[in-house]
Amino acid sequence: NVRELEGALKRVIAHSHFMGRDITIELIRESLKDLLALQDKLVSVDNIQRTVAEYYKIKISDLLSKRRSRSVARPRQVAMALSKELTNHSLPEIGDVFGGRDHTTVLHACRKINELKESDADIREDYKNLLRTLTT
């Protein structure tokens, strides 16, 4: 992402001027340590799809399919919500990797899962378990 690169470069230059030091690998690491730590925590959508499919004992192809049965749709919605929470991808990008779905479908999935986490203990527990698995 060009904007992120430009922001990182500006951050390093500002840090160099502020500290009165030349730009070195050490200074770059110091300047960008929080960005680098965040990057390590980010999870790929592929990894989310694989983990969710395994957790719910369905195929990845089912997550990407047009099937709308609850046994497939609910895990797909969970995977979309996790993708929104754990990645920097936009709603349209997430929709694309879930079988070319519209961004509004992803938005609906995120809202639905957040709503269900409030009222359904099973969904809340599933989401918590998946989140833990993906971030540790």
pLDDT of residue 123: 98
pLDDT tens profile 63-94: 999 999 999 999 999 999 999 999 989 999 99
- Please tell me the predicted confidence (pLDDT) of residue 38: 66
Are the C-beta atoms of residues 67 and 73 closer than 8 Å to each other?
A: yes
Helix axes 2-19, 25-41, angle to 10 degrees: 140
Quick one: angle between helices 121-135 and 103-119, nearest 10? 110
pLDDT at 119: 98
pLDDT tens-place string over residues 114-130: 999 999 999 999 999 99
Using CA atoms, how far apart are residues 16 and 10, in angstroms rounded to an integer? Answer: 10
Task: Please report the pLDDT score of residue 39 as a whole number.
Answer: 65
As a whole number of angstroms, the distance between CA 77 and CA 41 comes to 22
CATH topology of domain 45-135: Chromosomal Replication Initiator Protein Dnaa; Chain: A; (1.10.1750)
User: Where are the domains positioned within the chain?
Assistant: 2-41, 45-135
Prediction pTM value: 0.71
State mean pLDDT over 12-39: 89
